[in-house]
Structure 1
Amino acid sequence: MKILTLNCWSHSIKYHLFSWDDRALLAMGTVERVGLGSSFISQQIPGRELFCMGTEYNDHQSALALIIATLTDPQQGVIADRGEISAVSHRVAHGGSQFRHSLRIDDQVLDSIRNLQHLAPFHSVPNIAGIEAAMFHLPAIPHVAVFDTAFHLSMPGCAYIYPLPYEWYEKHGVRRYGFHGPSHLYLSRRAAVLLDKPVYTCNLITVHLDRGVSLCAIRNGFSMDTSMGMTPLEGTVMETRCGDIDPGIQFYIMQKMNLSACELEQILNNKSGIFGITGRHMERQHFLKAALDGDSRCRLALDIETYRIRKYIGSYLAIVGPLDAIVITTGSGVPEWPVREMMLDGLDCFGIQLDRERNRTTGSKREEVEISATDSRIRVFVIPTNEELVLAEDAAAIHSGDCHDHLHYDYSFACGDFVPSVSLGIGTGLPL
């Protein structure tokens, strides 16, 4: 069984092809600048040189056609033809409150996803375009939707209901949903293995640290709260998103600058956060280097980022109760030791002791590492996330007819014999 996973953005598509029978990642790649001109595809296969090719893709449908052509190319591909693909798993940003687990996509499910796209338009619109394109090119196989929001639907009402007119929740679905569910699920299951405890006895704080950042308070294996809200805009500071701000700022600045609601939404999502503070787009490694080298605006952005994360960790300690571990990941492959050091600074009063030398030498290695001191009451792990593996395993379970509730499913990566692989630099691996 070969499973293709897709993560579709407005102008890019990330894909992974898994051979589930062999428990192996066959290929991974990215199509960039879809619809923007100067587009290109890059694909990496174990044991081969990175393949890159430039061309023009006007939309997701043409980009999907190129992905399939590249995977089946006699020289650059890994399969003979598209008929070898058994299922496609799609990351879907928003499933509202109705999609509580992954499921096969049919016309009714797709219509429901379309009806929810207003809750996360920057993500859901390209997600839908990717689903439609893949179903056009691969119509005879199952397509599975894996929802970012599903993992967090275990939150209690006191965590997900906003203090707003209640009819907004009843009529318009205004509530906290949370995102990065597959990542938080993966981190919690891997942490349970490292703790040598059943996940349903583990209390954790997981930190998904990438272009988007979210934290999750996990009690006995279930999400109790998470930093992102109705949309991915809420929470801590991110690469281009503002995170938590005084809502009154929005009305004030709309009047002062004569901005429309759409214009303001674009600014809060795409021109704020670290970019807003520093005034320029920077690769993550360049931003961190500039901050450590004394660039005042970059240092300020780093201070704000880590201060906000530390505040969330402190508040989640009160929610979760006796804590087993803090789990931190990164998707950038950049040495994030300064961020980890700063976000945990001053938390020793809670029993969180960092081994600074171990933290610094961890660097950007794609391995699971404990960075807490030997006398730390709360353990701290760095675990590379693997959302793609969650997508692939959900699709494999649904394809095989297994009853699939992710909260009670025995994932392969939750087993003691699972060994994360560092091949391709993405930490993908399955038990042999």
Structure 2
Amino acid sequence: MILTINCGSSSLKYRLYNADLTEVVATGLVARIGEDGAYSKHTAGDKEVFFRGPIADQKAAFDIMAENLMQSEFAVIDGPEAVTAIGHRAVHGGDVFVESTIVDGSVMEQLRACVRFAPLHNPSNIAGIEECRRRFPDVPNVVVFDTAFHQSVPPEAHVYALPYELYADHGIRRYGFHGTSCRYVSQAAADILNRPIEDLAMVVCHLGNGVTLDAVKGGRSVDTSIGFGTFCGVPMGTRSGDFDPAIIFHLVKEMGMPLDEVEALCYERSGLLGVSGVSNDMREVVMRADAGDERCALALNIFIYQIKKTIGAYAAAMDGLDALVFTAGIGENSTEIRSRICEGLGVLGVRIDERTNLLVQDGHPNISAPGASVATLVVPTDEERMIALDTVRLVTESGRMPPPIASQALVHAHDA
């Protein structure tokens, strides 16, 4: 069995696969850890268990996961020995980790050194790895980094025009995020088109509460919208996206705002929420905009305009465009947002079939209009499967696990 772990500061997501990754045996979520309203949900086959009550910390969350997987009436394995490998998501690998890696003592030290780049995320990721190493002492762990896919971004795109020493001595540069999702989706898009990924230039639009636009050429990330921190690029649910840094100096010097308040403003009170004044949920913003709310309409217009502008810039950077790919919560589910983004992109060769755009949920991922020179696709992301694929590959190559029987487990195939 292959277990994947995504451990956040207030949540734990887990998924258990069979050995060749052809079946999801169980999934679970423990949410609002350490907060009021904490709950957990565990699904195995057609059975589901839901719990609401105090969940003090991540150790308590792992206790719930272990009970659900191994001890309760919904148990699917007899004990820890049934797990042959564990894959973990880590948000930030700095410029040390350029690919997924098997965990050892040295890797843990380097992970701790990367905490300074993602102080809100990496400590929880590390805690999840440590908890698994304690509970499954003989099981290899693999860590998969959101930033690793973007290590191929060239210097002209990842070095900021600041004093060079900040980059060389302190690692201040564009790192990018959502790389695990972008890597999975870009390969899945190539599979749908039945074309080698090496021949394709595509823009992947990961549109959720967090937003990443990624230029992928030949299967490699060549530019990405999020930078050193996670509030730049395109506006997001609560994060600002790009703005003139002089505004920060003005807020501090002229308005007397403390830096921690400015930071909270950029990360927590901006984006869709900040402009609309009502919500960071795209569904509510769209509903209110349709009902005549001018601020919600403005929030939508800003969001769509910045995405369209970035798609055009990336097409220019790649000297052309073969595919435009939508993924994540908004990208996969909002017919209206996809339509409005694609409107006016005909100059790039993007044209969609509005009828097919309505049928995405019925298994029609290619929403391109007949004769369009650029394919427009909607591809569900699956970060957990990408983590599982890397885990099986690395542990098998290390000799710590026999090769899976089904060879397709090691192919980044799109799940039909």
TM-score interval for Structure 1 and Structure 2 normalised by the shorter chain: over 0.9
Distance in 1 between residues matched to 2:333 and 2:143, nearest whole Å: 32
The Cα of 1:308 is off from its aligned counterpart by 0.7
**Alpha carbons 1:333, 1:366 under 8 Å: kept:** no
2:30 corresponds to 1:34? no
Distance in 2 between residues matched to 1:199 and 1:334, nearest whole Å: 21
Distance in 1 between residues matched to 2:31 and 2:389, nearest whole Å: 26
Distance in 2 between residues matched to 1:281 and 1:70, nearest whole Å: 34
Aligned residues: 409
Sort the Cα spacing of 1:257 and 1:79 in 2 relative to 1 into closer, same or farther, 3 A: farther
Sort the Cα spacing of 1:328 and 1:232 in 2 relative to 1 into closer, same or farther, 3 A: same
- 1:294 maps to amino acid: G
Residues 28-427 of structure 1 mapped to structure 2, 5 A cutoff: 28-48=27-47, 50-331=48-329, 335-362=333-360, 365=361, 367=363, 369-401=365-397, 412=409, 414=411, 418=413, 420=415
Distance in 2 between residues matched to 1:282 and 1:206, nearest whole Å: 22
Q: 1:3 maps to which residue?
A: 2
Alignment deviations for residues 277-309 of structure 1 (CA, whole Å, 9 cap, x no partner): 122345443333222332222221111111111
Sort the Cα spacing of 1:8 and 1:218 in 2 relative to 1 into closer, same or farther, 3 A: same
**Alpha carbons 2:356, 2:364 under 8 Å: kept:** no
**Alpha carbons 2:145, 2:179 under 8 Å: kept:** yes
Distance in 1 between residues matched to 2:306 and 2:36, nearest whole Å: 37
Alignment deviations for residues 259-292 of structure 1 (CA, whole Å, 9 cap, x no partner): 3322221221111111111223454433332223
The Cα of 1:384 is off from its aligned counterpart by 0.4
The Cα of 1:419 is off from its aligned counterpart by 5.8
Sort the Cα spacing of 1:116 and 1:181 in 2 relative to 1 into closer, same or farther, 3 A: same
- 2:91 maps to amino acid: A
- 2:14 maps to amino acid: Y
Distance in 1 between residues matched to 2:333 and 2:379, nearest whole Å: 13
Distance in 1 between residues matched to 2:95 and 2:189, nearest whole Å: 27
Alpha-carbon RMSD: 2.0
> Secondary structure at the residue paired with 1:301?
helix
> Secondary structure at the residue paired with 1:397?
helix
- 2:86 maps to amino acid: V
Distance in 1 between residues matched to 2:261 and 2:189, nearest whole Å: 41
Q: 1:429 maps to which residue?
A: none
The Cα of 1:203 is off from its aligned counterpart by 1.1
The Cα of 1:194 is off from its aligned counterpart by 1.8
Sort the Cα spacing of 1:159 and 1:384 in 2 relative to 1 into closer, same or farther, 3 A: same
Q: 1:406 maps to which residue?
A: none
Distance in 2 between residues matched to 1:76 and 1:182, nearest whole Å: 30
- Give percent identity, aligned residues only: 35
Distance in 2 between residues matched to 1:366 and 1:208, nearest whole Å: 20
The Cα of 1:367 is off from its aligned counterpart by 4.0
> Secondary structure at the residue paired with 1:134?
helix
Alignment deviations for residues 114-171 of structure 1 (CA, whole Å, 9 cap, x no partner): 1111112222122122222222222221111100111111111101110000000011
- Tell me which moved more, 278-287 or 35-44: 278-287
Q: 2:402 maps to which residue?
A: none
**Alpha carbons 2:367, 2:377 under 8 Å: kept:** yes
Distance in 2 between residues matched to 1:412 and 1:317, nearest whole Å: 33
Distance in 1 between residues matched to 2:133 and 2:55, nearest whole Å: 18
Sort the Cα spacing of 1:208 and 1:317 in 2 relative to 1 into closer, same or farther, 3 A: same
- 1:42 maps to amino acid: K
Distance in 2 between residues matched to 1:17 and 1:75, nearest whole Å: 17
Distance in 2 between residues matched to 1:124 and 1:22, nearest whole Å: 27
- 1:293 maps to amino acid: A
- Tell me which moved more, 225-234 or 277-286: 277-286
The Cα of 1:371 is off from its aligned counterpart by 0.8
**Alpha carbons 1:285, 1:334 under 8 Å: kept:** no
The Cα of 1:185 is off from its aligned counterpart by 0.8
Alignment deviations for residues 80-104 of structure 1 (CA, whole Å, 9 cap, x no partner): 2222112221110110111011111
The Cα of 1:332 is off from its aligned counterpart by 5.8
**Alpha carbons 1:61, 1:134 under 8 Å: kept:** no
Distance in 2 between residues matched to 1:339 and 1:25, nearest whole Å: 31
Alignment deviations for residues 206-264 of structure 1 (CA, whole Å, 9 cap, x no partner): 11111111011111111110001112222101111111111111111123442332222
> Secondary structure at the residue paired with 1:299?
helix
Distance in 2 between residues matched to 1:236 and 1:25, nearest whole Å: 34
**Alpha carbons 1:366, 1:384 under 8 Å: kept:** no
Distance in 1 between residues matched to 2:182 and 2:3, nearest whole Å: 21
Q: 1:426 maps to which residue?
A: none
Distance in 2 between residues matched to 1:333 and 1:35, nearest whole Å: 31
- 1:253 maps to amino acid: L
The Cα of 1:337 is off from its aligned counterpart by 0.9
**Alpha carbons 2:208, 2:331 under 8 Å: kept:** no
> Secondary structure at the residue paired with 1:36?
coil
- 1:290 maps to amino acid: R
Sort the Cα spacing of 1:139 and 1:271 in 2 relative to 1 into closer, same or farther, 3 A: farther
